[in-house]
Amino acid sequence: MTRRTRRNHTPAFKAKVALAAIKGDKTLAELAQQFDVHPNQITTWRGQLLEGAAGVFGSGPAEGASSQPIDVKELHAKIGQLTLENDFLAGALSKAGMLSAKR
């Protein structure tokens, strides 16, 4: 018996399968055959969707949102540093003949 390689499903695919499971039009076995995944995996994805559904309508900040203030001075310093490095490298490449045209 050959082993199947591990598959990574996209979040969109997982949501599609979980929504189909929540609808209840088909049994888990039918969905498993249709989407070519194990019925236990469909049950897991359905549970994850149901647990996370309340967060969609929550009034709190998003999980990925940072509560720390952004330091604008630090960002401007980083932009200046990167601009200086780009200018230096462009000059060095043009002197070496590797950069024929300026931006």
Tens-digit pLDDT profile for residues 41-74: 999 999 999 998 888 887 666 555 566 788 899 9
Q: Which spans in the chain are helix H?
A: 11-23, 28-35, 39-56, 72-96
Is 93 in contact with 99 (CB distance < 8 Å)?
Answer: yes
pLDDT in tens, 67-95: 678 889 999 999 999 999 999 998 888 88
pLDDT in tens, 4-39: 888 899 999 999 999 999 998 999 999 999 999 999
Place of tokens 């469909």: 42
Q: Report yes or no on whether pTM surpasses 0.95.
A: no
Gap between the Cα atoms of 75 and 64, Å rounded: 20
